[in-house]
Amino acid sequence: MQDKRVLVTGGAGFIGSNLANSLAEANDVTVVDDGYLGTPENLHDDVEYVEASVTDDDLPTDVDVVFHLAALSSYAMHEEDPARGARVNVEGFVNTVEQARRDGCDTVVYATTSSIYGDRTEPSPETMAVEANTGYEASKLARERYAEYFHNFHDMTLAGLRYFSVYQGYGGSEEHKGEYANVIAQFAEDIAAGEQPELYGDGEQTRDFTHVDDVVRATTLAADEELQGIYNVGTGEQHDFLHVVDLINEELGTDVAPTFVENPIPDDVYVHDTLADYSKFEQATGWEPEIDLETGIEMVCSQYTD
């Protein structure tokens, strides 16, 4: 992407700031963020920062492309206040896209979620049946349905990306997320400090861990290709938490054993395993993940070893 006017909502957050900083190298990038999960300290100087909520009027949507990443992005956040979760994730989506449409923008890429697939040890295709077990998942499915409306009724193109377990580590833009950061970031921080990382249950749950650099490439390609519909963004590989701890110890030259705690999330909503089938997105764009887990953990741990 080059010489475009771009808006990134949630652009001071983890994924959003990585995307905004990357795009700003060749584009005019504006970020909207309310500061709840993001901080302008994540942004490069050539990114324009606007402190606002996606539920506000008069958003800076007079652009060529909108990347809508703003969201309350966890089960816990929604259970604390389901109405607020719906306002931000659903109303905020509709409000932003409608303002963009009125300003003449017809290309939107937005974040949905892979957690709607539930437990999967086989690759999850976009065509499989999904359901909402949490308010967070319900809000993301609502986005997908409203995206259908904007496409069918207003002829806009909207690509919904179901990201799988995105990580970077505290050396990047993930540190401000704290307890909401990916487990790789949290485990690495604990082990580097000589503290035992806490694993829920037996630690054998798995994730399709996807490095944020691969996610940024995918998100940009979705806009370049003006994709329409739903697409998975993951690696097609899954690793359990015990293996992650072993890799971090190996990279740091440490031998810190994890501690095991009872899972505070109810079994009927906790996603134990995830695994992406990203073939649809690969066929549409040629994208493939470039950073395997070993390389990604080396990148995460570099802040502690350099």
Q: Which positions are catalytic?
A: 136
The type of residue at 285 is: T
What is the rounded distance in angstroms from the CA atom of residue 43 to the CA atom of residue 16? Answer: 9
Q: What is the dihedral of CA 145, 149, 152, 153, to 10 degrees?
A: 180
Alpha-carbon distance of 146 to 50, in angstroms, equals 25
- Give the pair of three-digit tokens for residue 151: 């496409």
Contact 20, 43 (CB under 8 A): yes
Please give the angle made by the CA atoms of 262, 266 and 271, to the nearest 5 degrees: 95
21 close to 82: Cβ distance less than 8 angstroms: no
Q: Could you give the CA distance from residue 76 to residue 131 in angstroms, rounded to a whole number?
A: 18
Q: State the Cα–Cα distance between residues 19 and 43, nearest whole angstrom.
A: 10
CA 62 – CA 5 distance, rounded (Å): 8
